[in-house]
Structure 1
Amino acid sequence: MSTSTTDRPTTPPTVWLARGRHVGTAAEEVLRRNLRDLKERGVIHDHMEPPETEGARERVFEARWLVAGEVTVRARLALSDVSDGGREWVLAAEAEAAWDLQWPSPVTMFWPEGPDAPDSPDTPAAGWDRASGSGLRLRDINPLPADDKDLRRVLRNAAPDTWTVHVVVHEAMTPDESGRRPLSPLLPPGVRHRVVEHRAAPHQLRAVNWALREFGVEVPRGGAVVLPGIPAPEGYDRGRFAVRSVFLDGSRPTELIDAVTRFARAPRPLPKGADEVLTALREDWHLLTLEEELERERALVAMYAEALEAMTKSRDLYREAAERANEALAAYRESAAAASLPAPREQERNQDTQPVSPFQQLTRTLERLKGGGKAKRAATPEARTDTEDRANTEARTETEDRTGTPGPEAP
């Protein structure tokens, strides 16, 4: 199975994430009671339960406190129903500096350290410290099932989980009561509420390593291993997170504590769904101080001013563009009108040069030929002699009538 870290971004160093399940029926009341108590004792500065929006699927609680005397931490816990009972909780906390695992666990700023009060005198105390999905305990030992099939199912479900740190410890021999103490209380505060400790009996080593083979890790006999999760952290080396020997005699397992702490401190990919949780913490935060409210209002005013300035510039640019468009349209209409109405001389030239039909051309040609023929006949010698004879005869007759003598004959 792939363990690539390229699919998800890395968890920011200032962020602390955890997820679990409350198995009782009064999770909201437990949170409210503990938050009020912590504020009265000065452990947290303030807390808030934002108004529930219509159609919301979760109930949100916010809290703020200081660590190391000057570093502010903001945290958001969301409760949601699950189909098989109980309430699932998701907690995201972000500090103003890189998270130190020695700081108090954000879980203890919402949930009580001890067990919840019983819902009724006849029911046992409920607990918030169950792993989400599996129901395994976060602060206690979880023996692996005796059935091999169930054992493989538990480990295969645990191996891909990146919300919590899963540790598998193999008992070389059955320990006594002192050897059954959980690892969680010995870990740094910032780790202890995110660890699920699996215990394998002496005869289960082979079944355990068979189930873990597909994830590329194995448990040494009498030792322990920290499961990498999917995707695994960058540079994960199973040799660095495997412990050869764990003495379950009540002594402090220093080597195992060191391996778990190094794994928790190493940069890890954001768990599945954690990006939405982190976005809600940063962008949907309600518990503001007076200074933060003033800063937010100033930011809103600046944002609105920038938006108004941008709108004003856009309006001016639009108006200028509209005026230029109207001027161009008017000029175009004037030029189009001038082109469609030619001057009088141009009209006359146009009339002279209007196209003539073929019938008109033929008529004009015949008229020219006809006129030209008459002119040629009048210009022949015979026509010219007859004309002159008629003119001489008329002149002689007029002379005889005037003088009584015959006029000269024509030559």
Structure 2
Amino acid sequence: MWLARGRHPGPAAQEAVRLSLPTLKDSEVIDDFLEVPGAEGAQEWIFEARWRVAEAVTVRARLTVQHDSGDGQEWVLAAEAEAPWSPRWPSPAAMFWPQEPDATWDHDAVTGLRFRDINPLPADDKAVRRVLRDSARDDWSIHVVVHEAMTPDERGRAPLAGMLPPSLRHRVVEHRAAPSQLRVVNWALRDFDVQVPRGGAVVLPGTAAPSDHDPDDFAVRTVFLDGSEPAELIHAVTRFAALPRPLPDGGEEALTALREEWRLLTLEEELARERKLVAMYAEALDAMTKSRDLYREAAEQAHAALAAYRESADAVTEPQPQPPAAPAASPLQQLTRTFERLKVSARPRRPAAGTGGAQEDKAPEEQPQTSER
């Protein structure tokens, strides 16, 4: 894969891409391209392109251009090939952006410096420290600091980008330190354990450098700024670009969008996608059918169990109904019974034999009543 992030300092960056893509297709540099229709309220334009390298290896790339934020338009470009990426392949940026020297799309997003040109360090020491510290923390671009042992002539002002392998030309930012700036440069880089040799160059590590990264392995003692190819420096930059490193912040999202939201399909890819969808639907339908059959079987088992339960309940002998309890006596009946008991208790008892009759025969005679006058 190949990742890059940059900034177009002016407006209408998307128009430059819209003009460049048809030209590249007509000249058969790319096979096809597509501008993805934007949703309502979208804050970016998305372009896709496909081309071939090494005659048979297909490369797919996705460019996202943000709307103008007042200080330019930031862009992110992610590309992926069907084979391990080679630095000798064309840069994906050249498949979207115009390559004229005056095109302004090729600015680094962190520092604002250009990829395809020499970037002299500022004269102010504070500005030098700010630029180098921002560059040393940047994980999207590769920053190289070259110290001029003496002021070079016109031949020594040739940008490094033109000598690098094509895939690296739009990922490398070249900083040039004047002869008198060596001390301030090394002082600014001391927190990153990086030092620039006098008259030499160094590749800045970034924050995602491997734990076993040794800055001295990517430092070059002497760079001849006489127009000749700095082979040792090119080799150091190429080795650094090949290091296994974590994706930069936002890189994973760009790569995921490239893989999962790709729209520019060939006829074979569309057929393969349709077959995949048919297979997925068939699998889902089969799962639903099996689920329906299992539900039907469970329902039948439940009905059979319910019928068996009812049959067993009917076989149990029903209990005989108990006779109704006698109704409670009314108050009138209770009063009648009470009178009957009193009537029985009020009857005279019969006298015992030999006693009661004699006493009655001897009752005293009634005495005559007298009155006094």
1:82 shift after superposition:
4.8
SS of equivalent residue, structure 1 residue 288: coil
Aligned equivalents of 1:41 and 1:82: distance in 2? 30
Matched, 1:87 2:64: no
Q: What is the aligned partner in structure 2 of residue 206 from structure 1? A: 183
Moved more, 48-57 or 273-282: 48-57
Change (3 A) 1:314 1:202: same
1:177 shift after superposition:
2.2
Give the letter aligned to residue 30 of structure 1.
A
Give the letter aligned to residue 49 of structure 2.
A
Aligned equivalents of 2:108 and 2:288: distance in 1? 52
- Report percent identity of matched pairs: 68
Give the letter aligned to residue 220 of structure 2.
V
Q: What is the aligned partner in structure 2 of residue 289 from structure 1? A: 266
Change (3 A) 1:196 1:342: same
The CA deviation string for residues 227-254 of structure 1, in whole angstroms up to 9 with x for no partner, is: 1111103642212111111122222111
1:68-107 alignment, distance < 5 Å: 68-107=54-93
1:24/1:126 contact within 8 Å kept:
no
Q: What is the aligned partner in structure 2 of residue 150 from structure 1? A: 127
The structure 2 residue matched to 1:271, chosen from 236, 243, 248, is 248
1:146 shift after superposition:
1.7
The structure 2 residue matched to 1:256, chosen from 225, 233, 250, is 233
The CA deviation string for residues 306-334 of structure 1, in whole angstroms up to 9 with x for no partner, is: 11111221222223233334444555677
Change (3 A) 1:33 1:322: same
Count of aligned positions: 322
Q: What is the aligned partner in structure 1 of residue 331 from structure 2? A: none
SS of equivalent residue, structure 1 residue 66: strand
Give the letter aligned to residue 90 of structure 1.
V
Q: What is the aligned partner in structure 2 of residue 352 from structure 1? A: none
Structure 1 gap segments, 5+ residues each: 1-14, 116-124, 349-411
Structure 1 residue runs of 4+, over 6 Å off?
333-339
Aligned equivalents of 1:309 and 1:160: distance in 2? 53
Moved more, 310-319 or 273-282: 310-319
SS of equivalent residue, structure 1 residue 169: strand
Matched, 1:51 2:28: no
Give the letter aligned to residue 297 of structure 1.
E
SS of equivalent residue, structure 1 residue 77: strand
Q: What is the aligned partner in structure 2 of residue 64 from structure 1? A: 50
Q: What is the aligned partner in structure 2 of residue 360 from structure 1? A: none
Aligned equivalents of 2:137 and 2:312: distance in 1? 77
Aligned equivalents of 1:69 and 1:222: distance in 2? 42
1:93/1:106 contact within 8 Å kept:
yes
The structure 2 residue matched to 1:300, chosen from 277, 284, 309, is 277
Aligned equivalents of 2:167 and 2:190: distance in 1? 30
SS of equivalent residue, structure 2 residue 36: coil
Moved more, 62-71 or 310-319: 310-319
Q: Give the TM-score of the pair, scaled to structure 1.
A: 0.74
Q: What is the aligned partner in structure 2 of residue 122 from structure 1? A: none
1:23/1:126 contact within 8 Å kept:
no
Aligned equivalents of 1:156 and 1:319: distance in 2? 70
1:40 shift after superposition:
0.9
Aligned-residue Cα RMSD (Å) equals: 2.1
1:219-258 alignment, distance < 5 Å: 219-233=196-210, 235-258=212-235
1:169 shift after superposition:
1.1
